[in-house]
Amino acid sequence: MKKLENKSVFITDGLSGIGKACAIAAAKEGANVAVADLKSSDLVRAMEEIKKENPKAIFIECDVSSFTAVKSAIETVVKTFGTLDIALNNAGIGGDANRVGEMSEEAWLKVIGVNLNGVFNCMHHELEYMLTKKSGSIINMSSILGKVGFALSSHYVAAKHGVIGLTQAAALEYATDGIRVNAISPGFIETPLLVKGGISDKPEVKQFVISKHPIGRFGTSEEIAAGFIFLASSDSSFITGTALEIDGGYLAQ
C-alpha cells in the first residue's frame, strides 16, 4: 500500500527545487497532486515529471502573497479532487542581501510577504476546509535559519522564525480537530535558490557554506522530500508542532 494512496496534496512553489521533488514523491506514493506556483519555463517539464508518477496532477497559477488568490487555489483543489488532505506550504524567496540598517522597506516587505504572509494565507484557507472533515496534515517549509541567525538575511531569517512560531501555535489550536501541523527546517539544499543567492555558483562562498554542514555537502531536494512524505503520512501520526531538522548537522554545532 502506498503511503498517500488516494490522498489529495496541495504544494506551493512546486515547479522546481524542493517543491517539485516533494510533488514527485507524493505522486509516487499514490497522491493526487495540485501544484500551485507562478507560471515559468519549468511548468511543462515539471508537470510531465509529476504526471509520470500519477496522471491525476494539476497546475494552479497562484501568488501565495495574495489572500484571495490562495482561497481560489484551495477551492480549485477541492473542486477537482473532492478533498484536501495534505498541504505543503513551500513557497519562498531569498531576497537581497543587506544589513538591517541598509535594507529597503520594499526588500523587507517582499520577503515577508511571500515567506511568512504566504504561509499564513495558505494555512488560513487549508484549515478552513480541513476543519469541515476533522482531518489533515499541514507541513510548512521553514529553514535552519528559522532557528538561528544569518548575517545579511534578516528578512529571510525573521520570516522563517515566524513560520516555526506559526506552525507551533496552529498545532496547539487544531490538535483536537484531527489536524496535524509541522514544519521542516532544511539546511542549505542544492536548488536554483542557491544560484540566485550567489552561493552555488561562487566556489569560495559555496565551500564556506558547505563547511558549516558537518556532513560536508549540501543536501538534496529528494532528502527533503523524504521528510515531507514522513510528516504527511500516518507514519508521523503522533507528531505535531515540531520543526524537523534535515540539515546535515548544521544546528548540532
Spot the catalytic one: 129, 156, 174, 250: 156
Residue 90: count of CB within 10 angstroms of its CB: 27
CA trace torsion 173, 176, 177, 183 (10° rounding): 50
Catalytic residue list contains 129: no
Catalytic residue positions, numbered: 156
